[in-house]
Amino acid sequence: MTRDLTTRNDLKEIVDKYDTILFDCDGVIWEGDLLIPHVKEVLAGLRKMGKRFFFVTNNATKSREANKAKFDKLGIECHVDDIFSSAYASAAYLKNVLNFPAEKKVYVIGEKGIEDELDSVGIRHSGGTDPADNVFIDLMDFSSITSDPEVGAVLCGLDMHLNYKKIAKGCRYLRENEGCHFVATNLDSTFPTHGSTVCGGATIAPLITTMGRQPLVIGKPEAAMLESILKTYDLDKSKILMVGDRLNTDILFGVNGGISTMLVLTGINTRAEAEAEDAVAKPTYIVDSLGDFISVV
């Protein structure tokens, strides 16, 4: 049963109960470039109480450094280690969960954010923003789609430079290289903002169709991102709360990972959607806004 948090006592109880808070950002902390009222003060107050934060985002186009810049600009305290983007989580998952071998490399279908995070964990990579792979090849000229036995994983995220060469190379490695991992940062089909424009799920679709095989998905709502966090830090699941505005990503992510969840109503989903019988996931708590916690911090 979902519980509504309305009184000061309700909110106080939550603050006392959880040590670690995972936040979705868009629709929770900000809306585009605008902070949601009181959220800045609430985050500062929770920090002062010693709460540990993780900002959990499916955006794989930016590195954690680049993600941090937005927090800096809005005047919210944030450390690089607080950010768990699907790009970083994918790199960390390859490194820590799959024990990716040092002599292998990852073929990237995606933007610089993914390359930066592979660099940050010391995994070699090809493809991505390499100018040699960001070209159009001539019709029926497959001469540049060559083998590379060093590729041990194909990692895909939103790639606004997607092209036939990258798709065909990725498929070739997956087909030819034994045990080659097929990993997606996230499968979101459209951006929550930007007028529902095409997102990462679309740019990985050609590989899924060609290979007839599903990738291991790291981003929300899959459990891999949480697994990656739990593997990196030593945390007590019963003291972790996931806060988000979307049932089908944020709340489902928490449910899949076996942690408590709180839906805020400052973003995509409404109270009615959360309470609907066929809701894709039921939050543990609902609160109008993260800003409501101003009364207890």
Binding-site sequence positions: 24, 26, 220, 245
DSSP 230-264: HHHS---GGGEEEEES-IIIIIHHHHHHT-EEEEE
Is 33 a catalytic site residue?
no
Q: What's phi and psi for 52, nearest 5 deg?
A: -95, 135
Buried b (16+ CB within 10 A) or exposed e, 171-184: bbbbeebeebbbbb
Secondary structure element (H or E) that encloses residue 85, with its range:
strand 83-85
Is 130 a catalytic site residue?
no
Q: How many residues bind a copy of itself (CB under 8 A)?
A: 39
User: Helix (H, G, I), strand (E, B), or coil: what is residue 138?
Assistant: coil
CA gap 34, 201 in Å, rounded? 27
Q: Return the structure tokens found at 196.
A: 């529902």
To a copy of itself, the closest distance from the beta carbon of 200 in angstroms equals 10
Q: Does 83 bind a copy of itself (CB under 8 A)?
A: no
> Which residues sit opposite 109 in a β-bridge?
156
| Residue 133 vs 292, nearer CB to a copy of itself | 133
| Residue 120 vs 190, nearer CB to a copy of itself | 190
Binding-site residues for substrate sit at: 220
CA gap 272, 126 in Å, rounded? 46
CA gap 233, 236 in Å, rounded? 10
To a copy of itself, the closest distance from the beta carbon of 140 in angstroms equals 7
Return the C-alpha torsion angle 190, 193, 196, 202, nearest 10: -20
Q: Which range in 17-25, 32-40, 72-80, 189-197 contacts a copy of itself by CB under 8 A? A: 189-197
Site for a copy of itself in 108-167 (CB under 8 A): 111, 134, 136-140, 142, 145, 159-164, 167
Site for a copy of itself in 203-222 (CB under 8 A): 203, 205-210, 212
Q: Which range in 117-125, 200-208, 238-246, 286-294 contacts a copy of itself by CB under 8 A? A: 200-208
Q: Which range in 26-34, 36-44, 195-203, 245-253 contacts a copy of itself by CB under 8 A? A: 195-203
- Which residue type sits at 252? L
Q: Does 189 bind a copy of itself (CB under 8 A)?
A: yes
Does residue 122 contact residue 155 with C-beta atoms inside 8 Å?
no
Residues involved in catalysis: 24, 26
Give the residues lining the site for a copy of itself (CB under 8 A).
61, 111, 134, 136-140, 142, 145, 159-164, 167-168, 171-172, 175, 189-190, 194-199, 201-203, 205-210, 212
